[in-house]
Structures are given as structure tokens and as C-alpha cells.
A and B are shown apart, each in its own frame.
Chain A
């Protein structure tokens, strides 16, 4: 029975999960340099210890309303293939182990815009985690 270690983060009132292997680090929000003429959800770039890293506002990526940054706001630096991108989330709460058997296909009722970005859902106790499909999130709309 395969175990999967995931990082749990919050977006609006839902909890999302992302495998730790895809996460490089979790950062506090810092100065973001706006990049002109890019999709709205790309907030810009930050200086991540000498590496210029693009930042995506995950709320806007999912078509949710924008939120003001708070003390809980975090940037999760994820890596996929040779890309490193930061995702702005409302909070990063937890690391949990889930068993791969517990993953269920996404329910039909999930909001149509976010449905694309979901790999499945996991229910642990009373909490429901939505498994993020990073490929889809990072895929630019043109490509």
C-alpha cells in the first residue's frame, strides 16, 4: 500500500494537497516585481536566493476573487520538469501522509473551472483534501 506525503495548503475555504516531491520550499510573501504583458494570474517574479522565480496567484488561476495578503499568506515554490514556480496560497497548514488507495476521482459537482486542475480528492476524518494537478496548473493557456 503506497503512502504519499503531501503538503496541505488553504485556498478560500478549501484545502488542497500537493506531493512533497514537487515542493522545493515554502516562503513568506516578499516583494514581487511585476512583469508586463503576461497573463493576469502571473503576479511577477521574486528574488529567491539569487534565482529569479515567477509567481502565480493560485486564487486568480482558479478564477477565485483576489485576496489581500495576510500574515498567513505563503508562496509554495514548486518544481515541475525544469520549471520552478511559486504559488501564492492563503496558508500552508500541514504535512500529512495519505494512502494512494484513499484517492477518489474528483466529484462531478466540483466547480467547473477548477475541475481541470484536480487529480482527485482524499478524505481523512472530517477533512477533504483536493489533490492538485500541477501539470495543468502550470500549463500556459496558449500552449
Chain B
């Protein structure tokens, strides 16, 4: 039977299953006692085994089978979950991933896995049997979101309490009492969560007990007294929220272990329903579309954008009001269409982020550090083209934060910090940009160290060094040939340093900045454009040639009188709002054939790169336009100061100026 038609589906699904296994394994490491997680992993592994056996990938099936055996043993409580055991399973998953990748690339998916298989067998036979009993207690559990709220309110000086309330058994209007209790609480604080849910409480779907989590500024006693004032309340038990414990129970919603007591099962059920009520995961209807089709759609639309530009131009020339109106409406509609198509190509950064927990775990173990990776805003969406490029720079920055930022546990203890370092990976939208921040609570950047290094490497001179602001000093670590680690480890600092990160991000039209405080930590902040394929540019004319300058680098345009040009160090400069801005004559830089004579006035486009500015001298401004970014092809790579090309309304090609290359 010919399997090739299923191959694509097989590869896609295998990758998904492996991703699930990875995620769940990490979860399992946090909650080693949670059998439901093991079940989840087992299910994915089992499906994977079945699929690969059907497709005839024996090695893949064998290894998965072996892994399944170990998981089964864990599930049945024969083996305890230890970091060492997880290491082996992770290694097996790595092998599986490698095999799937090899299959995807047209290989046979064969790989020598005897080592891992042997280890797995060893574990399977191992006699380390630890009876594991989870601790069933009547307690609140929180998901990540609620947990964050609790933590944030704690930081703002609120107390969080778990309030167990028992109504009198002869209470008739339970819903009314509940309402009164909630009203009392809401006067002094806020209810974060309740078990059972508010809806169920209002529907009187509970016995006589319920637990609410409250953030408030009042004391434990006062809270209790206030609630007791509501009649028919029999007992109120107020407990502060135990954060340490919550940590271990971050995702308990999936617990479906064998029933212990009737009471507990009931509670679990309620929790399950509650998850539905909060609508944490609303199932959206989606279809799978081949990315190539989207690319084709995008290309077709780009053609349309070019014609739109042409139509707009014609309508301006003809000056017919009816044509004007129609064209304008078409422009608006195609603008909406553009948004939708761009949106379709948006992918959550999760696809990049979800490989980081594994990497961080491995790095932390390799380096003997304790690290907690917090990912915030993984659902933030970015264009696929950006997503494809952003992975490597992020890996680099994360490695950097873990290797150079976070200190070893003993150093941290000596400094009075918690042993476990925190690395926060945060993504969010703001305006037309997406920001990704990597924040660590490590050693921070030492100004002296950076300066010393920069001077010794000849990146700056000693005289200049003293005048630099902290921010400028931090920028130095992005200079090429710079590595601040005292010893070179193989994690980061292989010479190809952060300068690569910076140039990659800048090539995407983004920027990186650093904020740091010595001893407290650093924040690397990356700003990225939402999309790369359609950008806003300013069209300018230089003699008879048209060029496009990305709006993102333009500060403003100015007309400068010839006599206002000043000279400094053989360089023509202008005084622009109190700043000295060097002038770059694009006519000379681009060797444009001169046809027209110079005017007495110069048209200048002020552009910037980070803190630096420059004035690009052109002959005239044409106007602002949305254009489709195209590459110059594989023959013309790395043309100086040209980042690409675009096709104008009249069908001609205009080159897009790379301002970053012009400003040194």
C-alpha cells in the first residue's frame, strides 16, 4: 500500500504528539505525583506508536514502545518519577523528534537508539518502587492566570485568603445567603475564585459548604467576623493562601485519578465544570490550510495592491469625481482584505516559545543552576515570516540570560536571593509592533566590566568611555567581537555574540534594547513589526530615480536652505532642532546619473537608527504609500544600503533604502 499520501499528515501529527509529550513531561516534573499527566503522555506515545508502526517506521515504533512501558510502570506506581528518569525520557523524545525530522526531510527515519532503549529497559526493571500517594485535601487550586493575580495582589499589599464557609444545614434560601456573603466580601475585597463556581452556588448546586478565594486589605479576623454577621452562616474558616503549595498544584484541573472518596470525586467534578464555566479554552472551529496556499493568496493580493496603487494614480491624474469615489471605496475594501489576509498568516508566538521550557530545563541542569521560566503572552500573534526568523535570536538571548545572567544557587543564596532564578519571557502587542521581553533576576550587567572589555577590545576609547550613559554602555555588548563572560562556555559566548542577534532583529525591521541594574537583573526588549510583507514607505525622487524609505525609520522631513548647511570634520551637517545631524547625499552614495541641476533648497529626510540620526538628501518627496516588499532575488545578494525592492503603480521597480546600513 502506498503510504506517501498519508506521510504529511503523519509528520504533522507526530510533531504535535511529541510537543504534547514534551509539555506534559515538564508538567510531570513539577507534579511528579499526578497520574493524569502520565496518562496524557501515555496516550500521545501510544498514538505515536500506532501511527509509526502503520507507516512502517520500525525504529520509531520500537522506541515509543519502550517509552510506553516505562510510562505504564509509572502509571501503575511501580517506578517513581525522578529527574534522572525524566532525563532519559527526554532523551528518548529527542531521538523521536530527530527521527520525525529525518522522515520529514525524506529520510528513512532510522536512528541508532539502542542506548536509550537499554536505559529505558533498565528503568523499567529497576526496583525503585516508591509508593506514591497524592495528598487529597479540601483545598483551592489555581490555574496560572489566577495564580498570577494572587501574586500580583500580594505584591500590591493585598492579603489573599481562602475562606471556607459552611451554611446551617437547615438554611432554606441558600442562594440568597450566598449572595449576601458575596456582597459582604465585595465591600472589602474581591472574590478571585470560588469552588463550586458562582453560577452553581446561585443555582443552589452545593451541599452547605463552599470555598472562596478573596483578596482584600482587611485582616483575617475582620473578614471572618464580617461574614459571620450574615445570618444562617454556621462556620467560617479563613486561611491565608499558601503560595508554595499552589505552585505544585498549578494545573490540577486535569486530575482524573482513581476515586478515593466520594466527597473528593464530587469536588473534582465541580472543578471540571468550573473550567468549562470560566471558558478558559473555548474550542474554535478551525481548518488546516497549507501554508503554501496562504502564500499564494498573499502573492495574489500583493499584485492587487500594486494595481490599487496604479488605479489611485490614474484616478488622481484624471480627476473624475465618480472614478475617485469608486477607487477610494475599492481602496478601503482592499485595505480590509489586507488586514484579514495578514491576520490569517498570524501565528501565536507559542509556536516558538513552546520549545524553550525544554531548552531552559536542560541548560539549567547542565549549568547546575535552578531556573524557573515564566512565559507570559504566548498567545500574542506575529506574522509567520517574523516567527520563522525570531527563534534563533530568542534562543541566543535566553541562553545569554541563563548563562551570564542567573547566578549559581550558592552565589544567589549569598546575595540573599532565592536559590531559584526567574527568567521571564513576555510577549505583547503595542501599536503596530510586537514586543518580546526577556527578563532575568540575575546579576545584571556590570558597567565597569563592559567598559573594561570594550576598551581592551578597542571598541571604544578610554576618553569616550567615561561620557557614556549606562544605556550606551549596555549597547556595547551588541558590538561585534564582544563577550562579557569571564570564561567562555559552550552555552553562549562562542565569539558569535549578541551582535548576530542585533543584526538579525534589525534585518527584520525591529530593534533591541537593554535595561539592567547590577545585582538585580536585566531586561532585553525586542521590538518587532507585525508583518514584513507590506510596509509603509515614503517615496522620494533622486534625479530620475525613485526610491522608497521605510516610514519606520523616518523621524520627519525638512526643506533646508543651502546656506544653512554647516561643515564639521569634512562632513556637511545641519542644525536640526538643536541637534547636529550629518547629511548624506543619496545622489552621491547611489551614484545616480546627474541630469537636473541642484536647487537652492535641499529636501531632507531625517532618519534614525537607535539614538543616531542622519539627514538623507533627496531631490523631491513624492509621498507616502503602502508597498509590497520584494527581495532582489538570489543573484543580487547584499546590495549596499538596499534592503529590497517594490513594484510601484506604474509597474516600475523602486528600491527600498536600508537606513540602518547608511548610519554608522
Q: How far is the CA of A26 from the CA of B299 in the complex (A)?
A: 23
Measured between beta carbons, the chain B residues less than 8 angstroms from A138 are 635
| Contact A36:B589 (CB < 8 A) given known A52-B633, A54-B635, A84-B633 | yes
| Contact A50:B303 (CB < 8 A) given known A34-B545, A138-B635 | yes
Stretch at the interface among A38-46, A57-65, A108-116, A119-127: A38-46
| Contact status A83-B635, CB under 8 Å | yes
| Contact status A33-B545, CB under 8 Å | yes
| B592, closest chain A residue (CB) | A36
Measured between beta carbons, the chain A residues less than 8 angstroms from B633 are 45, 51-54, 83-85
Query: Is A47 in contact with chain B by the CB < 8 A criterion?
Result: yes
Query: Is B642 in contact with chain A by the CB < 8 A criterion?
Result: yes
Query: Is B640 in contact with chain A by the CB < 8 A criterion?
Result: yes
Among A45, A82, A83, contact of B653 (Cβ-Cβ < 8 Å): A45
| Contact status A37-B630, CB under 8 Å | no
| B644, closest chain A residue (CB) | A52
Give the contacts of A83-118 with B (CB-CB under 8 A).
Answer: 83-85
Measured between beta carbons, the chain A residues less than 8 angstroms from B631 are 52
| Contact status A50-B636, CB under 8 Å | no
| Contact status A37-B591, CB under 8 Å | yes
Q: How far is the CA of A44 from the CA of B633 in the complex (A)?
A: 12
Measured between beta carbons, the chain A residues less than 8 angstroms from B654 are 33
| Contact status A35-B635, CB under 8 Å | no
| Contact status B636-A54, CB under 8 Å | yes
| Contact status A33-B653, CB under 8 Å | yes
| B636, closest chain A residue (CB) | A54
Q: How far is the CA of A33 from the CA of B654 in the complex (A)?
A: 7
**In the complex, per-residue mask of B597-630: 1 if CB is within 8 Å of any chain A CB, else 0:** 0000000000000000000000000000000001
| Contact status A50-B299, CB under 8 Å | yes
| Contact A36:B639 (CB < 8 A) given known A50-B299, A50-B302 | yes
| Contact A82:B645 (CB < 8 A) given known A36-B589, A46-B653 | no
| A37, closest chain B residue (CB) | B640
| A81, closest chain B residue (CB) | B634
Query: Is B319 in contact with chain A by the CB < 8 A criterion?
Result: no
Give the size of the chain B interface in residues (CB under 8 angstroms).
27
Q: How far is the CA of A51 from the CA of B628 in the complex (A)?
A: 11
| Contact status A83-B634, CB under 8 Å | yes
Minimum C-beta distance from A110 to chain B (A) = 26
| Contact status A52-B630, CB under 8 Å | yes
Please tell me the size bucket of the interface on A.
Answer: 20 to 34
| Contact status A38-B636, CB under 8 Å | yes
| Contact A85:B630 (CB < 8 A) given known A35-B642, A35-B655 | no
Query: Is B48 in contact with chain A by the CB < 8 A criterion?
Result: no
Q: How far is the CA of A74 from the CA of B552 in the complex (A)?
A: 39
| Contact status B636-A35, CB under 8 Å | yes
Among A36, A51, A52, A85, contact of B591 (Cβ-Cβ < 8 Å): A36
| A39, closest chain B residue (CB) | B636
| Contact A50:B306 (CB < 8 A) given known A37-B590, A42-B636, A84-B633 | yes
Q: How far is the CA of A31 from the CA of B640 in the complex (A)?
A: 22
**In the complex, per-residue mask of B578-598: 1 if CB is within 8 Å of any chain A CB, else 0:** 000000000001111000000
**In the complex, per-residue mask of B633-664: 1 if CB is within 8 Å of any chain A CB, else 0:** 11110011110010100011111000000000
Measured between beta carbons, the chain A residues less than 8 angstroms from B591 are 36-37
Measured between beta carbons, the chain A residues less than 8 angstroms from B592 are 34, 36
Measured between beta carbons, the chain B residues less than 8 angstroms from A52 are 630-633, 645, 647, 653
| Contact status A54-B632, CB under 8 Å | yes
Q: How far is the CA of A122 from the CA of B645 in the complex (A)?
A: 40
Q: How far is the CA of A50 from the CA of B299 in the complex (A)?
A: 9
User: Which of B302, B591, B635, B639 has the most chain A CB atoms closer than 10 A to its own CB?
Assistant: B635
Q: How far is the CA of A34 from the CA of B651 in the complex (A)?
A: 15
Q: How far is the CA of A51 from the CA of B299 in the complex (A)?
A: 10
Q: How far is the CA of A31 from the CA of B653 in the complex (A)?
A: 9
Q: How far is the CA of A38 from the CA of B638 in the complex (A)?
A: 10
Measured between beta carbons, the chain B residues less than 8 angstroms from A45 are 632-633, 636, 645, 653, 655
Measured between beta carbons, the chain A residues less than 8 angstroms from B647 are 47, 50, 52
| Contact status B639-A33, CB under 8 Å | no
Measured between beta carbons, the chain A residues less than 8 angstroms from B639 are 35-38
Measured between beta carbons, the chain A residues less than 8 angstroms from B641 are 36-37
Q: How far is the CA of A42 from the CA of B591 in the complex (A)?
A: 14
User: Which of B636, B639, B642, B647 has the most chain A CB atoms closer than 10 A to its own CB?
Assistant: B636
Q: How far is the CA of A54 from the CA of B592 in the complex (A)?
A: 18
Measured between beta carbons, the chain B residues less than 8 angstroms from A83 are 633-635
Q: How far is the CA of A50 from the CA of B653 in the complex (A)?
A: 10
With A37-B639, A45-B653 already in contact, 7 other A-B pairs whose C-beta atoms are closer than 8 Å: A33-B653, A35-B639, A36-B590, A37-B591, A38-B636, A52-B631, A83-B633
B residues near A (Cβ < 8 Å) are 299, 302-303, 306, 545, 589-592, 630-636, 639-642, 645, 647, 651-655
| 18 A-B pairs whose Cβ atoms sit less than 8 Å apart in the complex | A31-B652, A34-B545, A34-B592, A35-B632, A35-B642, A36-B590, A36-B639, A36-B655, A37-B591, A42-B636, A50-B299, A50-B302, A50-B306, A51-B630, A52-B631, A54-B632, A54-B633, A84-B634
Closest 5 CB pairs of A and B: A36-B590, A33-B653, A83-B634, A52-B645, A37-B640
